[in-house]
Homo-oligomer: A and B are copies of this chain.
Amino acid sequence: MRQLYKNCKILTEGRTVTDGFLAICEDTIESVGETRPAGDFDRERDFSGKLLLPGFVNGHTHTAMTLLRGVGTDLPLQKWLFDKIFPVEAKLTGAEIAVGSRLALLEMIACGTTSFSDMYFFPWEMARAAEESGIKANLNYPVQSFTPGETYAQNESARKMERFYQEWNGRGNGRIRVDCCLHAEYTCQPDVAAGTADFCRRKGGRMHIHLSETKSEHEACLAKYGMTPARWFAAMGVFDNPTSAAHCVWVTAEDRALLKEKGVSVIHNPTSNMKLGSGFAPIPAMLAEGINVALGTDGAASNNNLNMPEEMHLAAVIHNGYHLDAVPVSARQVLDMATRNGAAAQGRGDTGMLAAGKKADITAIDLDRPHLIPNLDTLGLLAYSVQASDVYMTMVDGKILYENGEFLTLDKEKICAEARETARQLYQ
């Protein structure tokens, strides 16, 4: 099918086209520009007053935790985690995870997310839900090992990770990919980490990890191993694979040099880092050093939503406040973090920007809102003014998943009702 979107603003490589045309052939962008492409179209749509931009990539989340949204509000971190979150998580089975995953998909698709990287138990449930919905996803099963001296061969979670990889990687016409995953340094024995890295290398896969999220985690690793978590992961061979490292709040200058050298992508989660009191990741330094920085929401338990425009907004302003400087992170950098850098972190070089030959993964913003007038600077508008509710359309591989408040691949009423009922049973 050949589609044409016309009379709209289009954010393309390094510039904004006004009154532009974007043509799509099947799942791929055919052209972007000021002039109408030749030939006939099966679908031709007037998108006056709309802005087309690359779909958002949520680079790090725990989607099914939507069911834990609002658990233990305003408690200190350890009390929140051990007294509130873990007891609820212990009750979760595949049935609840399926419901929480679909609830998360509603929220993500409505805010313009076209791809996400998910770390959670029961990824089979999310894989099925994501495949049905039409969204792209890098999913993983997080390997953990708490028994001192445990080997990779002995570890049960590693078997699940391998099985999930074999069963799901590349399905849905490549929309679903499976990454290898180590939850974190403090939840893993060395041999299990090294074995996971080795499995990943043999498969030609990608790694996803939590890295130096909190000060205590960072310092405990130094005390235990005499090296930082980044150095430890490097020693385990993890960084010999393309890796996404979430948080990186407490990484040192030496750690950053290592991440840069190894081509590790940093996934910045500003809301979660603020809400949980984790601290300010050195994002301006990372950007200056040329590290690939992407953006994530983290889970809804620590956010408390999965809203990429909100995440862009926080990433755009909090570092200014912290550094007493109005310019450490630019609007352009924030947009790149939320789109092309996220696509790069996922190993999806065929998307993340609107240009001929790239996949048609597109978010449309309705500019006809009082809070988006005047539009003097489209990038600034996106970083500082746009809200998730301004998303008019979400498209993946040329297929519309959401438009004007309607979901085309998900049953919103059914999912919301199931989520309410599941939460009622979980917390009764």
Contact = CB atoms under 8 A, between A and B. Distances in A.
Interface of A: 66-67, 69-71, 73-77, 80, 103, 106-107, 110, 215, 271, 273-280, 303-307, 310, 313-314, 316-318, 320-328, 330-331, 368, 370-371, 373-377, 379-381, 383-385, 387-389, 412, 415-416, 419-420, 423-424, 427
B419 A374 contact: yes
Given A275-B320, A321-B280, A420 B70 contact: no
Contacts of A273: 321
A323 B303 CA distance: 17
A381 B330 CA distance: 30
Main secondary structure of the interface of A (DSSP, over half): helix
Given A279-B321, A307-B387, A326-B275, A420 B373 contact: yes
A374 to B, nearest CB: 3
Nearest to A321: B274
Contact of A384 (B303, B316, B320, B371): B303
Given A275-B316, A310-B387, 13 more contacts: A66-B373, A67-B374, A70-B377, A70-B380, A71-B376, A74-B380, A76-B327, A107-B371, A276-B320, A304-B385, A310-B310, A370-B412, A370-B416
Nearest to A215: B324
Listed residue (A73, A416, A423) with the most chain B CB atoms within 10 angstroms of its CB: A73
19 contacts: A69-B385, A70-B376, A70-B380, A71-B376, A73-B384, A74-B331, A76-B325, A215-B324, A275-B317, A275-B321, A277-B321, A277-B325, A277-B327, A278-B321, A305-B385, A310-B310, A374-B423, A376-B423, A389-B389
